[in-house]
Structure 1
Amino acid sequence: MGVYMLKIAVLYGGTSGEREVSLSTGKGIINALKKNGHEVMDIDFNPERLNEILNLNVDLVFIGLHGRYGEDGKIQGLLDMLEIPYVGSGVLASALAMDKAKSKQIFSQYGIATARSKTYQVRSNNPSEISEAIKKDFKPPFVIKPNQEGSTLGLTIVKDIAQIEEGVENASQSDDTILVEDYIGGREVTVPVVGKQGEEKALPVIEIIPKSDYYDFESKYQPGGSEHIVPAQIPEEMTDKLQKHAVLAHQLLGCDVYSRVDFIVTNENEAVILEVNTLPGMTPTSLFPDSAKKIGWSYEEMVERFVELSIKK
């Protein structure tokens, strides 16, 4: 493990819809850092208490936040201005990954398959106008979700056009821009990526078997909500493709240190990218640590690797 002791602040909690998960991620990271011999300060982050960040005197910040104000580049920008190093992706990569429509444009330009999608501005239009527009553009099944929210919050799978208005309503509670995309059926897989920029490696592919018919918030985060199969039981050729595309997606957005890239493997055997998570869940039962275990990294070793990669930047 690390040979030096650092003073590390862990930011967790936050004010996004993913606060509960972040509390659990934070706890995991804090315990691991302490076991690794670091001096840890834990901060339940709130944008109304920025003085806690402005007065930080630490060697490194470990961001255990998810969703808005944590994963979207805002806190990264603040830390950059304060010249405090932090674990993970910088401002641009974080903001791009959080903006699903923008990141999809980049992926498809480089030959990574994405679902056909379109964005709609809620603020300038009323919900029924948007619903009418969606009816013209899409045929069920399709997905309505906020353009910038993690963890499938505010997501609706529209199987019948009667659900459109409610779906728009739901998604627009989280964001002024909603994203509508064709529903892609198939197997859900995710690929963790780790390494310094230009030398990233993909960890074993994980297949997620949701207990509900869709991998929703509950099945992501409730114990027993979904089953993880690591490594995923898929042909070697597909495994290679997923790992290559995951590293490429991570690099195209300019991510740093680690990320987790979600895909659907369709019944026609195509790998369709869903999104890149720049701050994936790090609770001890999360996907990333599960995959790291397969290559022999304990949770503590994994956390220490992130620290080492960040300090060497």
Structure 2
Amino acid sequence: MLLLTALAGATWAQSDPLPSWKDGPVKVAITQFVAKVTQDGGADFVKPAERIAVFDNDGTLWSEQPVYFQLAFALDRIKAMAPDHPEWKETEPFKSALKGDPKSLMASGEKGLMEILAVTHAGMTTEDFSKIVAGWLASARHPRFDRPYNELVYEPQLELLTYLRANGFKTFIVSGGGVEFMRVFAEEAYGIPPEQVVGSSGVVKLEDRDGKLVLAKEAKVEFVDDGPGKPVGINRFIGRRPILAFGNSDGDQQMLEWTAAGDGARFIGLVHHTDAEREWAYDRQSNIGKLDTALDEGVRRGWTIVDMKSDWQTVYPAVK
């Protein structure tokens, strides 16, 4: 009997598509939703072409504390470029960045961050920008965990992305972060190709440089994919209303509400950061990833709220 029980447990462990998710209502809600929208002939069946799943990035697929990782990149870039820009010592937001005051930069939100990136990288080609981002990801280390930033992705969410794709879903990132920044690592980190990343963007211009056509970045913000901009971005770049949406902050609320407003079965998920030991615990008062009105709305509407401490067996993948 003990042997049979052990074998049954081993079989379940091998067949469980979400081993980093603790057994409980959240995991059941995910698997039941996937089962009903993929059951051919069922009342809630959704054709594969319409199985669109969207995920915020910062705080939903990877960590975002103590500052957004793209902000950490921007701060490092400002410091590296400062010798060629002495005027930055007296010009905000560069003055605060050089003094090591990220709070002033965070106060400007995603739009302010995009403006910083647009100004600091104006004139650079998109290819050169990608190389700089890749180099930074290869060398920069997170101040708390002493790991590359792109290793601080959530193991349970990686499993969920794989599980969804195995069931005919197309997975997208829809984030306030810069689209060209995220596209550098999204495919390797999450299995999400560049064309399935929707984010904030700066203006680029086609130029002929020594007989070669390139896209050059300009010092202008074109689109901010945050708050009400997220449904707009989904409509513009995806063209279908998702049936599954995951976020973690008030900046995701409109995306979650718009997804929920569609016909048929819908899954709306919120990651609630409650684990100060393995990650961080924050919500209503946080300057980063504030979760206040979206949390209230999630409770009111019966969205699936993931308690990181209670619902996840592990947070990050094992150290390589």
Shorter-chain TM-score range:
under 0.3
Q: TM-score, normalised by structure 1?
A: 0.26
Which has the bigger relative contact order, CA under 8 A and spacing at least 6? 2
Identify the structure with the greater helix proportion.
Answer: 2
Identify the structure with the greater strand proportion.
Answer: 1
Q: TM-score, normalised by structure 2?
A: 0.25
